[in-house]
A and B are shown apart, each in its own frame.
Chain A
């Protein structure tokens, strides 16, 4: 069953059960500079594989970019 998530401010429907699978499903390159927060809490990279997502979760997926 599809889950409705808010990822980086957008409504997105996914089948995946875990954070890591969401990245795969959305074809987000798993750069080692990525960082993820679910409902305003950082989820460490080592926990992506087992972290279960649920409908309504608000997810921020970020990376460092050029900045001043």
Chain B
């Protein structure tokens, strides 16, 4: 049996973290989450509508999943820290997926603000899981300020392009003392398998399942990719070679002699 993922003393059986946005409807979301075998579901913190009652599925999710609030859409340290504080009050959790982005277009992490925001939240006893660039130096700095995990992107959010810089991810994994969770940019199951084969501790994804033609089937594929990728990593792959190496011995093969 594989060892469990542990983040800030919390054990997780599944290494797949799932977002809860962009599904065609609530039932497809619930069925997809179930098919993914995830334990962790991310949610956003948003202003309530002052005009009408919004159907809210959070209570349903809370019964079955570990809820990880995020600070999606925050542009400043102040916004991110207050959103995290509100999330803790709303959901009674110290865990937070910290997002501080630079703009609304590329949604890339603004690391200049991300690191001090992480530092403030760690000081306030949060277990901080920062969404960050695939940069080993930034990941090390986030680890040094006390983050419980690092979550480098595979590619821009929602792009579905898969891991763009495998070498950097490999370096982050090698250097990290905290779990490395690939967050954002995954497009399909092979992307997840590659992340796990590189030694990542988990993958967080949303759009790749929610906007697949068959989200439930894609969720199942993602769950299998997590397991296959992790097993392949633990098994230890063969080194890559630039030339062929026969797998069958030549000893004893027939050898025809040319007649004169």
Contact = CB atoms under 8 A, between A and B. Distances in A.
Interface stretch (B41-49, B163-171, B220-228, B232-240): B41-49
Interface of B: 19-23, 29, 42-48, 50, 53-54, 56-59, 67, 69-70, 72, 78, 82-83, 85-91, 157, 206-207
Interface residues of A, number: 27
Contacts of A28: 48, 50
A66 B21 CA distance: 5
Contacts, number: 103
B48 A63 contact: yes
A37 B54 CA distance: 20
Contacts of A35: 45, 86-87, 89-90
A10 B46 CA distance: 15
A13 to B, nearest CB: 13
A9 B47 contact: yes
16 contacts: A7-B50, A12-B50, A26-B50, A28-B50, A35-B45, A35-B89, A40-B78, A42-B82, A42-B86, A62-B46, A63-B56, A63-B58, A64-B67, A64-B69, A66-B19, A66-B43
A10 B50 CA distance: 10
Contacts of B22: 68
A62 B90 contact: yes
A33 B86 contact: no
Contact of B90 (A9, A34, A40, A66): A34
B86 A68 contact: no
